[in-house]
Structure 1
């Protein structure tokens, strides 16, 4: 491919119209629910949708909230650099979904709680609940900053979109419809936005396949470039992506997201029956696996198009997260409106995730930090819920800039989620599955688990794995033929483009002793390290402090009667016994 081929176009009026329509429709959904819920007087209804939602909108909302702009931009880039081995994430989705369906979902639905962290006080004590709430707020604010900042930076340097204009627009629109319509508006806006995401993404894939001469040409190019690397079963935990890091790390990390993460729990309890909640969860799993295939294939399209002239190595983009927008501006420039559709898809991913986060932050703040200490009326609590939504919307915009120091979006998002969520998962497991665990064990395990996962996360940020461990696949610039008119100046003074750029200044040139000693594991293991540490410490401390002296209420621990496996077992047993009874009756008559 020649250098001329790499030159991307720019957005035109039709693209901005498509983008603007997406924002208008999203806001209109919030306005509609203001009218539809004009008699609403309950803060719980505002935050949980009144527990009348069905499986379809909830499953779509679950998918949209996780299928964020990070997924749209970063997964193809990771495939471009590390290969299609990322497909093994799908096994983690499936295994985690089964565990959540059988353990966490029925438990939370039965408890009918607005905040997942209410459980920690019911099972242990208020200190554990408050610590869990604070960890969640910190985690969600950082993650939301990544979701807002990442796509804004990537698109601002590829298309004619102002960086902070994009950040502020995302925050304002999300805050507006969250404040107006509550969880119902968030869920139904997600349904609309996921349609935009899929449409924009498929437009890029289809056009790239046509441009390259067909599906099999893309697969052939990926095979020749070493991107179909599915047979990597190296057990070395320092390797970034292998079968084991993706399956083990992916399963435990998805347990954090699907099992105990507040936005997901809110959606489970918003369903009108537990059957609807389970169906929503499994549709969500299918949706995530399907979209994973699309994003990985998009990364293969990226490699097929740029196999002879890598834009990143050639300096045409300043970060990996800009590769997909760069491809879009190249392949879709001649189709007015389609680049705008992709921009709308990226922003829809950001909107769906940010709105979910804002709603969840308002819920836990109200339920965990305000309600236990006040006797406010429902009317005042409702208005306070809306006020908290506005507050967190503004705060998420303000914190967006912090995301710039955390590297590529997918690694940053997983690191933030799992470094804090891993210990929380361990605490919930202690409470639900180990009845003898006491509050001292749970609190000690949570604190030490958080310390362990934070240490490895910070170590991985300051001293990332060496190229020998990360093993990026080879890229080529042999086909590039740039001249002065072809080159772009991608230099941006907004923020450092990669975390590694600030690492050099932290390390200095003279002292690399710690870097020589420290070996960072795959970022997918950061969360599991926190989970395992929390469980081990919690069990040991509980044993040495006498365990749970008083009898634990069975409602706050795992009940086999909640599982579908138990239901199926009893159903089969009843049928077998019924047949035996009929057989015995027949024999006695004879």
Structure 2
């Protein structure tokens, strides 16, 4: 009987057909884009889609890039365990979209960059650019490993497929269409994957509503179980989720993800005009709202089904991240192909994120490490190099999945990684964009100090997790559990359970219940503020007020704000940059944007 615990069915033949059909279709888009663009093999085409993308597909790609398998698996489990406080991230998404679209996009688009970290050299120095790029590569490899691990765990739970076999297959599929199709393949597969991901949520909610007697009954059960309490205004920074940690901490964290993360920057600068680039972020905001709402309601559906028999307490699943796959097989097994659609949804979210990460890692490696050293590469050499790097980073991300398996809850672990590394980087960018006084010495000292502090608190929190008084898990019961397995079902528990770091509960240091218990959403706030404040102080001490006059193009302008010009300024800027590249770089054509050429043309561009 549904919702009473015990083993659940495994995949049927039709589930496998639907699942593998989706994967083949995804890879087919990459092949199609490779064939379609075979005569346009420049680096700009491979990494930026020729800068001719429009707002809607880019917006869906932006949403899919970080609404990954972690969202499909982890967010409903969050609602099941802690309630709908996570829904408050809708405020964070809105703040992030406005800040990124009106402050960061105009500046990056005006400079005509390919790598987001080119700005750090323009504003500060090459060593800072190298450090920033290296931090991004480490962060992205770790995060992508976690993204690969999440749906592999789900597949292992409900199909019995080997965990590491699924991990490798994920990486291989992404490598294929990233290597062959470049950014266009990534964006258009993201569009398909976003649709499939949302369809998976809808299937779970619809079936749950039928079983429980309507959406109103699900909402009523969630209310009785305390799952609808969202607004906690307690200012305690040690509490995991409150209104302030989510809206303040979450906003800064998501700004650090969307404004300076190469995976996202690469998308909106691929738009053909500044207006399309800005609009893609606002459409993306709606996509984020839709995704998190469906994910949250899927979690409430899960609670309504299992309110009298918690599968975790009953031993039916090993971790909360296996809850949604367990639910799917419990309530949808009678509909062949639908469980396959759900797994395809989780897997699609992963493919979109992994492919985005691989493409972005190739972009920053080429722009920040290879082209400055090897300036005479032919177009053919560059093409083969891009493909080779796609394979290398795909393999690296598969390897990092092993590390990710030791980080506990996939949702919190993923956001913690961004907070620890992206926070100091965001502080560095704001230091350069908003304060003319800041210099290279202040920038590097501020960023490193911010990074040390965020890594200290983040790693400490991983070793000494906060107690229940700070995380506030809600109650469960097993009063209606049926532990006798039906004879026609097979046990679907994972053959490989996720490893977790050992909790050193018996030797907790004094900082464990204070500093290490800081909400993970404040990691980015800490890194950003420490970087800005210390960077400004060091800059003033080291002569930042007396440095040479800097180009106004390197700073945020009032004219950047709320300025939608779809066919004028942004197009002129891009065409001027392209002409400068073509005239000065000869054999490279649009494959490589030379740093000196950009700097010489900044003032000319600003007059357009």
TM-score, structure 2 as length reference: 0.89
Counterpart CA distance in 2 for 1:34 and 1:145 is 26
Instruction: Give CA-to-partner distance per residue, 1:330-369, whole Å, 9 cap, x none.
Output: 1100000000000100100000000000000000000001
1:435 Cα deviation from its structure 2 partner: 1.2
How do 1:8-23 and structure 2 match up within 5 A? Answer: 8-23=8-23
How do 1:479-498 and structure 2 match up within 5 A? Answer: 479-483=480-484, 494=496, 496-498=498-500
Instruction: Give CA-to-partner distance per residue, 1:46-99, whole Å, 9 cap, x none.
Output: 101100011111111111111100111101101111111111011000011111
Match of 1:451 in 2: 452
1:4 Cα deviation from its structure 2 partner: 5.0
Counterpart CA distance in 2 for 1:319 and 1:132 is 35
Return closer, same or farther for 1:350/1:243 CA change in 2, 3 Å cut-off: same
Return closer, same or farther for 1:206/1:314 CA change in 2, 3 Å cut-off: same
Counterpart CA distance in 1 for 2:155 and 2:221 is 27
Contact 1:560 1:566 in 2 (8 A): no
Return closer, same or farther for 1:491/1:338 CA change in 2, 3 Å cut-off: closer
Counterpart CA distance in 2 for 1:519 and 1:30 is 44
Match of 2:530 in 1: 533
Matched, 1:225 2:225: yes
1:481 Cα deviation from its structure 2 partner: 3.0
Counterpart CA distance in 2 for 1:41 and 1:232 is 53
Match of 1:140 in 2: 140
Contact 1:424 1:531 in 2 (8 A): yes
Counterpart CA distance in 2 for 1:551 and 1:4 is 71
How do 1:38-187 and structure 2 match up within 5 A? Answer: 38-187=38-187
Contact 2:88 2:246 in 1 (8 A): yes
Instruction: Give CA-to-partner distance per residue, 1:219-240, whole Å, 9 cap, x none.
Output: 1000000001023111111111
Matched, 1:316 2:313: no
Match of 1:586 in 2: none
Instruction: Give CA-to-partner distance per residue, 1:525-577, whole Å, 9 cap, x none.
Output: 1111111111111111011111151111111111111221699xxxxxxxxxx
How do 1:182-331 and structure 2 match up within 5 A? Answer: 182-331=182-331
Counterpart CA distance in 2 for 1:197 and 1:492 is 23
Match of 2:606 in 1: none
Counterpart CA distance in 2 for 1:301 and 1:115 is 42
Contact 2:81 2:473 in 1 (8 A): yes
Contact 1:238 1:522 in 2 (8 A): yes
Instruction: Give CA-to-partner distance per residue, 1:453-473, whole Å, 9 cap, x none.
Output: 101101110111110111111
Match of 1:520 in 2: 517
Q: Alignment RMSD, CA only?
A: 1.8
1:490 Cα deviation from its structure 2 partner: 7.1
2:554 aligned residue (553, 556, 560): 556
Counterpart CA distance in 2 for 1:2 and 1:157 is 17
Counterpart CA distance in 1 for 2:87 and 2:94 is 12
Match of 1:377 in 2: 378
For the residue of structure 2 that corresponds to 1:480, the secondary structure is coil
Return closer, same or farther for 1:493/1:345 CA change in 2, 3 Å cut-off: closer
Match of 2:588 in 1: none
Counterpart CA distance in 2 for 1:182 and 1:332 is 36
Instruction: Give CA-to-partner distance per residue, 1:184-236, whole Å, 9 cap, x none.
Output: 00001111111111112211110011111101100100000000102311111
Return closer, same or farther for 1:18/1:490 CA change in 2, 3 Å cut-off: closer
1:399 Cα deviation from its structure 2 partner: 1.6
Instruction: Tell me the matched-pair count.
Output: 562
Return closer, same or farther for 1:5/1:520 CA change in 2, 3 Å cut-off: closer
Match of 2:422 in 1: 421
Match of 1:334 in 2: 334
Contact 2:49 2:270 in 1 (8 A): yes
Bigger mean CA deviation after superposition, 413-422 or 39-48: 39-48
Match of 1:462 in 2: 463
1:159 Cα deviation from its structure 2 partner: 2.4
Counterpart CA distance in 1 for 2:287 and 2:249 is 20
Counterpart CA distance in 1 for 2:61 and 2:249 is 24
Bigger mean CA deviation after superposition, 265-274 or 159-168: 159-168
Return closer, same or farther for 1:108/1:86 CA change in 2, 3 Å cut-off: same
Match of 2:392 in 1: 391
TM-score, structure 1 as length reference: 0.92
Counterpart CA distance in 2 for 1:348 and 1:41 is 27
Instruction: Give CA-to-partner distance per residue, 1:112-166, whole Å, 9 cap, x none.
Output: 1110001100100011000000000000000000000121013202323221121
Moved over 6 A (4+): 486-491
Instruction: Give CA-to-partner distance per residue, 1:402-454, whole Å, 9 cap, x none.
Output: 10111111101001111100000000000111111000000001100110110
Return closer, same or farther for 1:174/1:422 CA change in 2, 3 Å cut-off: same
Counterpart CA distance in 2 for 1:496 and 1:322 is 10
Q: Which runs of 5+ in 2 are unaligned?
A: 566-608
